[in-house]
Amino acid sequence: MSKVDKAILDKQLERLRGDKTLLQAFVDVLSMDPSEEADINRFVLKTVMDKYDEIMNCAENDIPFMAAYFANCPEIFTAMDVPWWIFLQTPFLGVSSPFLASDTDETEKMGLATDFCTVLRLAMFYVEKNLTPKPAGLIALLHPCDGTVVIHQAIGKTKAWHDVPVFGADSPYWDDERTYKYYGEETKRMVDFVTQCTGKKLDIDRLREVCKISNQTYQLWADYNDLRKAVPCPHDWTIGPPQCFALACYYYPGKIEAVDWFKKLVANAEKRVKAGTGMAAGERIRALWFDILPIMWQFDISPWLEQEWGVNIVMNMFGYTPYEPIDTKNETTMFRGLAKRSLSQVPMIRQARGVADNFLGDIERIVKDYKIDCVIWPGHMGHKDGNASIGMMREKCRELGVPFLSIGLDLFDKRYTAIDEVKDRISKFFQASGLGQKK
Amino acid sequence: METKTKSRVLQEFQEASKTLMNPALKKEKDKGAKIIGYFCSYGPAEIITAAGMIPFRIRAIGSTGTDLSDAYLSNINCSFCRNALNMGLAGEYDFLDGLIVLNNCDHVRRIYDNWRRKIKTPLVQMVSLPKKISDPSIQWYYDEMKIVKKAIEDKFNVKITDDKLREAIKLHNETRRLQRKLYDLRKKDNPPITGADTLAVMVAATALPLKQYNQMLKELIDDLSKSEGVGKAKARLLVIGGVLDDPEYIKVIESTGGLVVTDVLCYGTKNFRAEIDEKMKDPIAALAKYYIADRPSCPRMFGDQLRRAQLVKDLVKEFKVDGVIGQRIVFCDLWAGEIYMLNDDLKEAGIPFLKLDREYIMAGAGQVRTRVQAFIESMGR
């Protein structure tokens, strides 16, 4: 590799290496904790680091890898043995906080409207400024929001990625058999695209094995979610829904590592439920945080919620999805099952893509099943569809007899609504809705 | 600059663009005609016409606030949707017998959810519009068109035959041909009609009974063909962007001495650039092909940006345009991305480009005027 190439590559890997350093610090801290829960979390962090290593290795050694999403039927990538990653992982995880704010400021100079979702602006910034490794192909996400549709068109026009082939599977608006058939066919076209980009082919028998493992994973996830219904909830904010999502849908889709991890998680939760010991100290308010929850917000909000108010976020949008197993009988049933999972079941996509019924239905089921005391909609500035659902959410919560709070913030830029203001709004909400006083 | 023709029909078009319920529509409604609203220019107006009903594109013109809709939508939702839903909640859309909503953007698609829960329009139907242009997506939209057709037939006990559909397609195509003639007049060095008046004419097409509209438009074109021009413009402008149905906005742009001679708007060029194939055996197949593949696309259609940018560049040549204005309603992600991409395309082509963010309800006219003035000056005009 030439010196110039190495310089470009170093730049492309700069953020990944930075993230890894930070993650290593978290792992080191957790290593001092001998508990089972710390061990469970350590595995997740190491998994994230492994993903960085895998992609960096591909970039350094010219191994084709794909940029894709958790809603692109990732079991297929496992079956094809294709390395892939979500290139907006860096802002999504929020682990890169030392440069996240300055990167966000830089996005403003690109000329993309500042009311455009910050995480997508950051993704565009990383591509345009060559701060992310270049994939062999990009699989765009055409749902659940407008931002994803346009940002992938824009990325395809950048100098850095103008020669990266792009494919987007067209996603209908419904949740019915016609939709799954159509999307299943689109997914088959995606497989052809991945083959063109990487030279790897899909073996249907291998896909069947992967789907079977994936089904086991999702069954264990469902078992775990059932355990979280217990009062007190076995786990606190440090462990649970985000990790389940990350392992099942992204890092180990259809891989035995996910099954093994979930088994440990379930066993740990089961033990706690039997003993009646929740991790959250003095769980008094059981909350549903109905949106995504990046790591950096968790550190700012979740410990404060627990310590000051006795709040345990028992469930969030990314942890809850009523899955059904993929029928592995034949190719048609598998693609149908993968399509259904990708459109109607995967978190955030499930709630945000189609009509508001899933959105509201999930709130109702979670509130009832998890004995929820209040629903918090953070109102991320990029989630325009969700923010157009606040009236419906409020009415649904009123019908269920639980208080509802809509905040209005940017989950990727803490300056949009300052943390103190968020805390103030939450505090006033708890006081006004009779959920008690500060501890 | 102003349109010199003082024709009666132009005034009627202007009136129709300023109100929801215009006199012609009211007359038809009083006679028992059914009116079906639709939220987007991808909406299948031809099917509504074929059902013997009047298609009416939803606007929020005349809205005085969002007090009612603020309970349902947030302040980061598009002001067009907030105002339109407010009007619906206030009963100003009670004259509708039905409403067709498409998942054309994140804001509008939630209007469907809110509308069907809160507003008692007899038929509220959602259409799943594909996001790609391909044979399978045309087939998908074909099926969606059939679903809409059946929903209208079942709800109102009417039969929409293929013959009626063909007749409706002919009628709508006639509108498209007339509108193209109107735009052709604007190619002149001294066009006989302003951009503001043209927009009024185009908006009226979505609010008047179409046969009547076509007759009126023929009259107007005759008048304008004989009329003198609006005067020497400092610069010939092209406007692109999201939903723009208020001629006052164009009037503010033109108050600077610039003249809007064409556009890429969903009330404008996009509606007539292509026609529906009248020779196809299956009229619904012709509709699906037109809406998905033939018609200039909206930024929500993935993978078609190059063609969209090319259309802008083609129009710049055809209409001898000096500069392009890209307007966007704040919080519209689709147009945020499109304008971002187009910026590079136009820079590369050496075409001056001004980006304006706005609210649906005309506000900040002074600021718009100042920015357009500066833009025209920057072009050395």
Q: Summarize pLDDT for A66-104 with one digit per residue, the tens.
A: 999 999 999 999 999 999 999 888 777 766 667 888 899
CA dihedral (A293, A299, A303, A309) positive or negative: negative
Residue A293 φ then ψ, to 5°: -140, 85
Rounded CA gap, A409 and A432, in Å? 21
Q: Which positions in chain A touch B357 (Cβ < 8 Å)?
A: 113
- What is the spatial distance between Cα A163 and Cα A277, in angstroms, rounded to a whole number? 55
Compute φ and ψ for B322, nearest 5 degrees: -90, -35
Chain A residues whose CB is inside 8 A of the B88 CB are none
- Look at residue A13 and tell me whether its pLDDT is greater than 60: yes
Q: Is B340 in contact with A113 (Cβ distance < 8 A)?
A: yes
Query: B378 and chain A: CB distance < 8 Å anywhere?
Result: no
Q: Decide if A406 and B74 are in contact by the 8 Å CB cutoff.
A: yes
Residues of A in contact with B78 (CB under 8 A): 384
ipTM of this complex prediction, to 2 decimal places: 0.96
Mean pLDDT, all residues of chain B: 97
- Using CA atoms, how far residue B153 sits from A96, B156, B170, in Å, is 56, 6, 21
What count of other Cβ atoms lies within 10 Å of the Cβ of residue B342? 25
A121-135, B121-135, B304-318: segment of lowest average pLDDT: A121-135
Determine the Cα–Cα distance for residues B242 and B265; give it in Å rounded to an integer: 7
Residue B181 DSSP class: H
Nearest chain A residue (CA) to B133: A170
Rounded Cα distance, B70 and B229, in Å:
45
Collapsing DSSP states into helix, strand and coil, what is residue B35?
strand
Asked whether the bond before A144 is cis by omega within 30 degrees of 0, the reply is: yes
3-class secondary structure, B224: helix
Q: Is B106 on the interface with A (CB under 8 A)?
A: yes
Could you tell me which of A176, A317, A200 has the C-alpha nearest to residue A249?
Answer: A317
Give the pLDDT confidence score for residue A395 in this predicted structure. Answer: 98
Q: Measure CB to CB from residue B110 to each of A112, A152, A388 and give the nearest one.
A: A388
List the end-to-end C-alpha distance of chain B, in Å, as a whole number. 16
**Contact between chains at A185 and B136 (C-beta distance less than 8 A):** yes
Tally A–B CB contacts below 8 A: 148
- Average pLDDT estimate for B296-311: 97
In a mutagenesis test of the B interface, which of A385, A399, A409 is the best target, namely the one with the most B β-carbons within 10 Å?
A385
Least confident window among B26-30, B118-122, B253-257, B361-365: B361-365
Is residue B330 predicted with pLDDT exceeding 80?
yes
Closest-CA residue of chain B to A381:
B76
Query: Residue A95 has what pLDDT?
Result: 64
What whole-number distance in Å separates Cα of residue B299 and Cα of residue A149? 8
| pLDDT tens digits along A176-193 | 999 999 999 999 999 999
User: Is pLDDT above 80 for A1?
Assistant: no
Lowest average pLDDT, out of A40-54, A85-99, A310-324, B51-65, goes to A85-99
B109–A170 CB contact, under 8 Å: no
Q: Which of residues 357-376 of B touch A (CB under 8 A)?
A: 357
| Residue A228 neighbours by CB under 8 Å, 6+ apart | A234, A235, A240, A269, A314, A315, A319, A370
Averaged pLDDT, B258-271: 98
CA-nearest of A227, A255, A253 to A240 is A227
- Residue A6 CA from chain centroid, whole number: 32
Name the minimum distance, in Å, from the CA of B269 to any CA of chain A: 22
Q: Which of residues 44-73 of B touch A (CB under 8 A)?
A: 71-73
CA distance B354 to A277: 62
* Rounded percentage of chain A residues whose pLDDT exceeds 70: 97
Test the A interface: residue of B67, B110, B357 with most A CBs within 10 Å: B110
Question: DSSP 3-state assignment of B358?
Answer: strand
Do residue A149 and residue B71 have CB atoms under 8 angstroms apart?
no
B323 SS3 class: strand
Percent of chain B with pLDDT over 90: 98
Lowest mean pLDDT of A78-92, A355-369, B81-95, B222-236, name the range.
A78-92
B19 close to A (CB below 8 A): no
Amino acid letter at B246? D
Q: Does A296 have pLDDT greater than 90?
A: no
| Interchain contact, A146 vs B333, CB within 8 Å | yes
Nearest CA in chain A to B71: A391
User: What pLDDT sits at residue A412?
Assistant: 86
Contact A173 B126 (CB under 8 A): yes
A154 → chain B, closest CA residue:
B341
Give the number of other CB atoms < 10 A from CB of residue B179.
23
Q: What is the pLDDT of residues A339-361, one digit of tens each?
A: 999 999 999 999 999 999 999 99
pLDDT by residue (tens digit) across B25-70?
Answer: 999 999 999 999 999 999 889 999 999 999 999 999 999 999 999 9
Written as one letter, the residue type at A372 is: I
The residue ranges of DSSP E strands in A202-310, in sequence order, are 285-289
Looking at residue A344, its pLDDT comes to 96
Q: What pLDDT is recorded for position A439?
A: 65
Q: B311 burial class (0-12, 13-18, 19+ CB within 10 angstroms)? A: middle
Q: Which residues of A touch B75 (CB under 8 A)?
A: 408
CA dihedral sign, ordered B76, B80, B81, B84: positive
The tokens describing A436, both together, are: 């008690």
pLDDT average, residue stretch A411-422: 90
Asked if B57 and B37 count as a contact pair (C-beta separation under 8 A), the reply is yes
pLDDT at residue B192 above 50? yes
Residues A275 and A303 sit within 8 Å (Cβ to Cβ): no
Note whether A81 and A255 are within 8 A (CB).
Answer: no
- Between helix A419-432 and helix A295-304 the angle, nearest 10°, is 40
> Average of pLDDT values for A321-346?
95
Suggest the residue from A109, A146, A344 to mutate for an interface test with chain B (most B CBs closer than 10 A).
Answer: A146
Residue B112 with chain A: CB contacts under 8 Å: 355
Say if B105 is an interface residue toward chain A (CB within 8 Å): yes
pLDDT at residue A94, rounded to an integer: 65
CA distance B116 to chain A (A): 11
Does B130 sit within 8 Å of A170, measured CB to CB?
A: yes
* A232-291 pLDDT, tens digit each: 999 999 999 999 999 999 999 999 999 999 999 999 999 999 999 999 988 999 999 999
In angstroms, the CA B340 to CA B273 distance is: 24
> Can you list the positions of beta strands (E) in A161-250?
166-168
Residues of B in contact with A168 (CB under 8 A): 131-132, 302-303
**Does B357 score more than 70 pLDDT?**
yes
Q: Is A407 helix (H, G, I), strand (E, B) or coil?
A: coil
Over residues A100-151, the pLDDT tens digits come to 888 999 998 888 999 999 999 999 999 999 999 999 999 999 999 999 999 9
Residue-level pLDDT at A2: 45
Judging contacts by C-beta atoms under 8 Å, the chain B residues touching residue A172 are 128, 130, 140
| B contacts of A387 (beta carbons < 8 Å) | 73-74, 76-77
Beta-carbon-side half-sphere exposure of residue A58 (alpha carbons within 13 Å): 22
Maximum Cα–Cα distance across chain B: 61
Residues of chain B with C-beta less than 8 angstroms from the C-beta of A384 = 76-78, 106-107, 331, 333
Cβ within 8 Å, pair A111-B299: no
- C-alpha dist (Å) from residue B171 to B93, B164, B207, B286, B361: 26, 11, 15, 14, 32
| Pairing between β-strand A311-316 and β-strand A404-406 as defined by DSSP bridges | unpaired
Residue A292 has pLDDT above 90, yes or no: no
CB-nearest partner of B72 from A152, A157, A390:
A390
Structure tokens, A438: 């500060």
Residue A281 is predicted with a pLDDT of: 84
pLDDT category, B253, cuts 50, 70, 90? very high
What residue type is assigned to position B281 of the chain? K
Smallest Cβ distance to A171: which of B131, B299, B305? B131
Question: Closest Cα of chain B to A352: distance in Å?
Answer: 9
Helix runs in chain B, H state only: 8-18, 23-30, 45-50, 79-89, 106-118, 135-156, 162-185, 195-204, 210-226, 247-254, 283-289, 305-318, 333-349, 365-378
Average the pLDDT over each of A102-106, A229-233, B117-121 and give the range with the smallest value: A102-106
